[in-house]
């Protein structure tokens, strides 16, 4: 039986945020997938340079772009205009945040990077490989994604716009899935639902008890489907809830944030926040106007483009 790792109804319950820097000649855009893929894909996204802006239009980077742990994994497709070729990669969960240098410093000839951000547990149904093997790794896509990859490469090579790449990816992913166990599907769907609804505050022991499984089994399934432990994933979910509150302008009272999100005290909140953001909630409050992933505050199906 074809399995679905999560239910599409979980999609709006977890809205992770990513951060961009302040280089003026770049863009970032997101779009949700087709309805049939919403159980697996959080969004499609693309970042790249704006050709008509030259060096004279740039400003020094005053705030770093940050890649934040979010429980998601990504397929990355970058286009190199010098070689007139695409490169394909797969990124697992990142366990720690890190600052990203300017794209021009990493790959000066890369015009854009198109990404598929898989919902937690979503990528497993496509490649069928335990996600724990990809944590903190970026590998060539062909090493983990052999199914019909040539077809994807051929169709992607003919695209010229973000919208065309979204259409190609929707058509490519929709018929793909591996054989998964119905019991595991239901277990992961229910466990993710409980974590989302409780904002990551439920203990692993209570989560296992409510799902009538051992903690060891729960750890094993999360390692396979999500790539990190249920405790770590719960911490990530709670962090993004706090960051979401900061993004909405509720950052003034640190003590209230700590209380509302189940931390022992404000010091506990700051320690946990720094682990996933790389800095304090106060710094995040200053940087929140640079947030990239504003898609989830928009209406369904709407593309969101941010020029920085």
pLDDT reported for residue 254: 80
Average pLDDT over residues 142-160: 91
Homologous superfamily of the 182-290 domain (CATH): Homeodomain-like (1.10.10.60)
pLDDT over threshold 50, residue 301: no
Mean pLDDT of the chain, nearest integer: 83
- Percent share of the chain, pLDDT over 70: 80
Per-residue model confidence as pLDDT tens digits over 238-284: 999 999 888 887 655 788 889 889 999 999 999 999 999 999 888 88
pLDDT reported for residue 162: 96
pLDDT over threshold 50, residue 2: no
Per-residue model confidence as pLDDT tens digits over 117-150: 999 999 998 888 999 999 999 999 999 987 889 9
pLDDT reported for residue 294: 44
pLDDT over threshold 70, residue 200: yes
As annotated, the residues of the chain forming the CATH 1.10.10.60 domain(s) are 182-290
pLDDT reported for residue 179: 65
Per-residue model confidence as pLDDT tens digits over 72-124: 999 999 998 888 899 999 999 998 998 775 544 445 556 899 999 999 999 99
Per-residue model confidence as pLDDT tens digits over 205-237: 999 999 999 999 999 999 999 999 999 999 999
Burial 51-84 (b: 16+ CB within 10 A, else e): eeeeeeeeeebebbbbbbbbbbbbbbbbbeeeee
pLDDT over threshold 50, residue 304: no
Average pLDDT over residues 36-65: 72
**What are the CA-CA distances from residue 123 to residues 39, 127, 156 (Å)?**
10, 7, 20
Average pLDDT over residues 154-181: 90
> pLDDT class for 292, splitting at 50, 70, 90?
very low
> pLDDT class for 307, splitting at 50, 70, 90?
very low
């Amino acid at each position: 039986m074809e399995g679905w790792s999560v239910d599409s109804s979980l999609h709006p319950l977890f809205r992770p945020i990513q951060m961009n820097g302040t280089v003026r000649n770049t863009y970032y855009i997101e779009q949700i997938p087709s309805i049939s893929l919403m159980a697996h894909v959080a969004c499609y996204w693309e970042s790249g340079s704006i050709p008509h802006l030259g060096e004279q239009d740039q400003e020094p980077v005053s705030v770093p772009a940050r890649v934040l742990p979010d429980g998601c994994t990504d397929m990355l497709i970058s286009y190199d205009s010098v070689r007139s070729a695409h490169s394909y990669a797969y990124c697992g969960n990142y366990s720690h945040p890190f600052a990203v240098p300017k794209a021009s410093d990493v790959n000066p000839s890369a015009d854009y990077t198109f990404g598929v951000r898989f919902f937690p547990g979503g990528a497993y149904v496509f490649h069928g490989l335990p996600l724990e093997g990809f944590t903190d790794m970026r590998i060539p896509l062909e090493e983990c994604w052999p199914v019909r990859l040539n077809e994807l490469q051929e169709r992607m090579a003919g695209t010229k716009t973000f919208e065309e790449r979204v259409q190609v990816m929707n058509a490519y992913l929709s018929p793909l899935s591996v054989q998964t166990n119905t019991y595991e599907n239901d277990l992961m769907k229910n466990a993710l639902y409980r974590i989302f609804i409780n904002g990551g505050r439920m203990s692993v022991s209570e989560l296992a008890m409510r799902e009538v499984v051992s903690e060891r089994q729960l750890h094993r399934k999360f390692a396979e489907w999500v790539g990190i432990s249920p405790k770590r994933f719960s911490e990530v979910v709670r962090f993004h809830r706090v960051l979401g509150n900061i993004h909405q302008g509720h950052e003034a009272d640190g003590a209230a944030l700590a209380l509302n999100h189940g931390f022992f005290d404000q010091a506990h909140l700051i320690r946990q926040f720094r682990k996933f953001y790389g800095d304090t909630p106060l710094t995040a409050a200053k940087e929140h106007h640079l947030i990239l992933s504003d898609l989830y505050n928009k209406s369904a199906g709407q593309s969101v483009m941010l020029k920085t």
